[in-house]
Structure 1
Amino acid sequence: MTDSAVAATLFGPEDLRVVEHPLGPLTPGMVRVRFGAGGICGSDLHYFRHARTGDFVVTSPLVLGHEVAGEIVEISADAPALAVGDRVAVNPSRWCGQCARCVEGRANLCENIYFMGSASKTPHMQGGFASVFDATPAQCVKVPHSIAYQAAALAEP
């Protein structure tokens, strides 16, 4: 397994660089995904042009990308529905699982939600425009091998 990833990293307005980032060991409860394809969203363009989108201001280097798909290359989680080699579309939201809305089964209304490639919180949650990135098993939606990565990325489940 590689010990680094290259990623499209925003440093400021119109200062987007492809840089190498170290990869530590996979955190327990996570899966590692090799990038297959991604879609460029309007928020990615706002971040690129202005280093912000609405009230969300980039205050530290930010890997963009939240419309992504790829292949699972490592699992460090209880993920019975996933296996190394699975192709997945990645849900860009990561909910806490503990707030009142999550406990009610309404994770889409999570009070502590994070989004990949977003400066909505500090520290920023890094996005998926990287050769390899990490996600929770719940973020990964299996797609058949007959679905192109490009189509899976646009699903943004």
Structure 2
Amino acid sequence: AHPGLDEIDREKVCSIMDPLSLSHNARVHASQNKRLPVQVVLHVVYYDQLTVRCEDHKLSDASITRNQVSADVSLIRENESLRMELDKMKAIVSGLQRGSEPAAAAKTSKRPTFFASVSKTFGKLNPFRHGSKDTSQIEIITCGSIDITKPKKRRFSLS
């Protein structure tokens, strides 16, 4: 672009140029330019190769990351399906337990235990229970002012 510059001036100007700051298109153009010094062309080509290698590593890292993400997603889906299956199994087990508890409670409540039957029998024989004595056959000895008649059963109503 500057034909009036001699070789030494071109090298000074090109030494200021940073090949890393050039875009890909600018590096391709610089590597094909015959008027640039050979040292600058070599630097441009070298940095271009470095960027291509780094991009390859980034692509391989990206593909590894992509594969890892897909594996993680499949594991997450499998985890969710296992959780759902576990919840179903818990519901089935709790349903079976609920179904068996009333039957077991009904069996125990229908059949009286030994202690309950014995206490019921002794309760019937209790002489101190109200109304357990048959007082109709007992002769009433009246002592003048003592009233032995049973009190009336009354309701306590507020109305």
TM-score by length of 1: 0.15
Bigger proportion of residues as strand: 1
Between the two structures, name the one with larger relative contact order (CA 8 Å, sep ≥ 6).
Answer: 1
Bigger proportion of residues as helix: 2
Could you say which structure has the larger radius of gyration? 2
